[in-house]
Amino acid sequence: MNPLQRYAPLVDDEEAFLEACERPLPSVVRVNTIKTTVERAREALDDEGVAYEQTDWHPGILKLEDSTAGTNWPYFHGWLHGQEEVSALPAIALDPQPGERVWDTCAAPGSKTTQIAAMMNDEGVLVGNDNNLGRLSALRHNAERLGVTNLVVTNQDARNFSMKPFGEQTPEKPGAFEQFDRVLVDAPCSCEGTCRKNPDVLDEWTMNHVQSVAGIQKGILRRAVQVTKPGGSVVYSTCTFAPEENEAVLDFVLEREDCELVEWDVPDAFETSPGVTEWEDDEYDPSVTKARRVYPHQNDTGGFFTAKLEVQS
């Protein structure tokens, strides 16, 4: 059975959902405002004869009509970065500010990390972590191409992330800190929502994998809350539809850490659905409805899940 069929009870139009999952994804780029402006990037594409359409919910997200992201000079110069449209949501929910201390727990290959850096105006401290040493080379490459300078790269298991390298503040270490202002947990997952660009994920799907990765997700999200200052924000996101990896993870952490789910400003022109409070034999905290689900047929994107938590103490 197609694993996507298990989510029929969650969608408003099963046929449209399944049909959308079979279509290839549009080619999309994000304008890198560290190096240029949206206007200059659009002029460069016009001069190159590259056809594109500006999305109606984000001026810096452009859909290329007849070409792929890496085949034009604005891309090579770091003005553009190939990024799936829906994956821009977590950074928008996080809303990082210039000068803050931000941790991206699972950063490689760096699309969301570099988006966060741009939103910070490349100011402050951005820690990009990944437990896969091989993937960190892609993170470094993308950061360098896009002109990011406020990035610190670490190679740790996010579930046991140590703040010791950042140390206590002393005259010799005036920039040291012990907690983050904001944290993004774009967690490893079963990746069902990427089936439009990688259909193999459906052939390789197993319930055992969903259950095993959910344990990892819970550990990373708990640690993210623990290292975030009171009043700080943690955004949790996945590219899967499975409630076991989404609402169930939130429910688990809400019971064990001092945090609460909060609303976040979803762009008006971008259609989403609320998190679900029941799935099969399980019930979740009512506040999980503040999370946002994105199904491929709603905006012609991949599938996604994004939630925002506020740390209490």
- Name the token pair of 30: 């994000």
* Helices assigned H by DSSP within the chain: 14-22, 38-48, 73-76, 89-94, 111-119, 133-145, 200-203, 207-226, 247-256, 296-299
Residue 267, annotated as binding a ligand: no
9 is in an annotated binding site: no
Contact 233, 225 (CB under 8 A): no
Residue (of 56, 64, 90) closest to 189 by Cα position: 90
Q: Is 110 annotated as a binding residue?
A: yes
**H runs (alpha helix) in 49-198:** 73-76, 89-94, 111-119, 133-145
43: amino acid identity, one letter = E
DSSP string computed for 190-237? --GGGTTT-THHHHT--HHHHHHHHHHHHHHHHHHHHTEEEEEEEEEE
Residue 107 assigned to a binding site: yes
Residue 67 assigned to a binding site: no
Q: Is 109 annotated as a binding residue?
A: yes
- Is 157 annotated to bind a ligand? Reply is yes
**52-54 and 278-279 beta bridge pairing:** unpaired
The answer to whether 111 is a known ligand-binding residue is yes
- The SS3 call for residue 298 is helix
Q: Which of 248, 241, 244 is nearest to 193 (CA)?
A: 241
The number of C-alpha atoms within 13 Å of 250 and in the hemisphere containing its C-beta is: 32
Question: Does the active-site annotation cover 259?
Answer: no
Q: Point out the catalytic residue in the list 21, 189, 191, 239.
A: 239
Q: Sheet containing 27-31: which strands, arranged edge to edge?
A: 52-54, 61-64, 27-31, 80-82
Query: 290 labelled as ligand-binding?
Result: no
Residue ranges of the annotated binding site for S-adenosyl-L-methionine are 106-112, 130, 157, 186
Which residues are known catalytic residues?
239
Residue ranges of the annotated binding site are 106-112, 130, 157, 186
